[in-house]
Structure 1
Amino acid sequence: MTLSDYGRIDRYRTRTVVGTPPIERADPTVWGEIDAPALAEFDDSGYAVIDGLLDPYEVGDIAGEIQRLTSDPDLLLDERVIIERASHRVRSIFDVHLISPLIADLVRQNRIAGMARQILGSEVYLHQSRVNDMPGFTGTGFFWHSDFETWHAEDGMPAPRAVSLSIALTDNYPFNGSLMVMPGSHRTFIPCQGETPADHYRVSLREQEIGIPSHEALADLAGKHGITQFTGRAGSALLFDSNLMHGSAGNITPFPRSNLFLVFNSVENTLLAPYAAPHPRPEYLASRDFTPLV
């Protein structure tokens, strides 16, 4: 353990000048009691696949809402909308639960937030919400990373007591950029090398270079745990631990991929000052409204 500049014990030191060895996770994966059969393997694998979380009508309603948002010329000027460099297409829209009343209602439903409460063993709030859109032919992927590494370094999240829910709004095929994960990798924290530049988020949301693991660390994790892929029909979902190593390839197929992405954090794990960044990221990336979802 090391003492950070803020006088706190930093159990997950990262963004160092020189490389740091992997850290075995000291925190639990499951903090509460699981009663949903679909979540039974979450502790071991670090994720769970939920088939048919949304029915086709709900998928249609939400997909239509996302289409409305991406077609709004005023919203395209909003900093919460991320445009891909090469294609000039919308890559992500953040804070969608604050922009859309339809999505705001969805995230509060017990079948959605209730899964996070079971895993995290407490009330939860939304750390982040976004839509990730990967258009056909031009959609770019996300390199391998642990979300917790970024949330710890740049947002000040103390422990990996958070989960992400990715809901498919289009069919996720093995060939259109669907998410790849390393089962069991959530038990090992991989520190990253390189100090965080000021306003790093302006670059990292389009193409991340700081906060990604070394090739050697990734090869070691993949050798130990293997790689699997989340695929499923629209309406299916992937719930995964904040420290699970994951990434996606680009999409050169004609079939677009769109997912609603919700991050639930425990109200007992609220954000402090960043552990390895000059300033906190904006609220739309890391909410500091810790009001529990009801």
Structure 2
Amino acid sequence: MTLAESRTLDTYPTRVTGEAQLLDRTDPTVWGGEHDGPMDGAALASHDSKGYSIIEGLLSPAEVQGYWQELVRLSSDEELKTDERVVTEKKSGNVRSVFEVHRISELIGELARDPRILDRAQQILGSDVYLHQSRVNYMPGFRGNGFYWHSDFETWHAEDGMPKPRAVSCSIALTDNYPFNGGLMVVPGSQRTFVQCIGETPDDHYKASLKEQEIGVPTENDITKLAAEHGIDQFTGPAGSALFFDSNIMHGSGNNITPYPRSNIFLVFNSVENALVEPFAAKHPRPTFIGSHDFTPLTR
């Protein structure tokens, strides 16, 4: 598919000039049924309604400790800090995220294929899946910076060429998530509305946006509308809990000024039937360590 053809078929236009619009989503949130995986009918209905599901105790305390030690190892690797897949804080220079971590860490690569995670992703998306993106996020105590309100799909659509919001993210907490240490906030039900963003995508936008995103964020007025209609929920719970959330749900997190760090493993599963095409609102796609072009289905 050529760039012109992909944009002709664009059902979620964004990075517009003038006034942004709230568009009704034309695709399902849940594509599979209760016989396609571990989630029963009630759990799938809840995910369809809210756009997210919380699985407490997905990892055991021993597993949490093992993955936490792996995150410490990665953040302490001075050679790795020079890798383009490592994003540092804009002001402090501390490690903020490590992308394509499933290729850097064999342990996390195996986690992406764990049936407890993979089977749920396949069920929600109703197909085989591949990893569109993986990363670990670090939010240290006292100085951890948050992420402003955004829809992941808006960026993946505009800059990676993801045609439809047929992707689901899994965020696995390796530290306790409290209401006060920068826990992820979501607007339940907002996955059913595609929020256009204003502004043209600059060349190599990812270099700045991974530190602090300014293009591809909704207006304060649109966030206010969604919050007034749906409210705001927050992902809290002990280490080892997991949050599965729709690619188009509006979410964000505040800064962490508490002594308690917050770190997580982040895995994005995309349907193999939703493989990337040319970007819908950028001249060139982002690097493959951010938006993978390896559409090989994951297997256990």
Q: Give the distance between the partners of 1:96 and 1:161, measured in 2 at CA.
A: 22
Counterpart contact for 2:30–2:44, Cα < 8 Å: no
Select the residue among 74, 77, 82 that pairs with 1:77: 82
Superposed, which structure 2 residues align to 1:100-249 within 5 Å? Answer: 100-249=105-254
Task: Confirm or deny: 8 A CA contact 1:139 1:251 kept in the other structure.
Answer: yes
State the alpha-carbon separation in 1 of the partners of residues 155 and 7 from structure 2. 20
Corresponding residue number in structure 1 for 2:22: 22
Q: What residue in structure 1 maps to residue 9 of structure 2?
A: 9
2:4 & 2:177 partners in 1: Cα distance? Answer: 41
Q: Give the aligned CA root-mean-square deviation in angstroms.
A: 1.2
* Range that drifts further, 257-266 or 26-35: 26-35
Aligned length: 292
Q: Secondary structure at the match of 2:124?
A: helix
| Cα distance in 1 for residues equivalent to 2:82 and 2:217 | 29
Q: TM-score under structure 2 normalisation?
A: 0.95
Equivalent position amino acid for 2:141 in 1: G
Q: Distance in 1 between matches of 2:186 and 2:267?
A: 17
Counterpart amino acid of residue 121 in structure 1: G
| 3-state SS of 2:252 partner | strand
User: Once the 2 structures are TM-superposed, how far is the Cα of residue 85 of structure 1 from its aligned partner?
Assistant: 1.6
Q: Which letter maps to 1:27?
A: D
Secondary structure of the corresponding residue to residue 175 of structure 1: coil
Name structure 2 gaps, 5 residues minimum. none
Moved more, 183-192 or 83-92: 83-92
Q: Name the counterpart of 1:255.
A: 260
Tell whether the 8 Å contact from 2:101 to 2:134 is kept in structure 1 after alignment: yes
Deviant stretches of 4+, over 4 Å: 3-7
Partner Cα separation in structure 1 for residue 7 and residue 260 of structure 2:
49
Partners of 1:95 and 1:166 in 2: CA distance: 15
Alpha-carbon distance in 2 for matches of 1:138, 1:146: 24
- Post-superposition CA distance 1:162-205 (Å, at most 9, x none): 00000000001100000000000000000000000000000000
Structure 1: stretches of 5+ with no match in the other structure: none
Aligned counterpart in structure 1 of residue 72 of structure 2, from 67, 79, 82: 67
More helix by share: 2
Paired residue type of 2:145: T
Matches within 5 A, 1:258-269: 258-269=263-274
| Distance apart, 1:266 and its partner CA | 0.1
**Letter of the structure 2 residue corresponding to residue 32 of structure 1:** G
Identity across aligned pairs (percent)?
A: 63
Partner of 2:87, secondary structure, is: strand
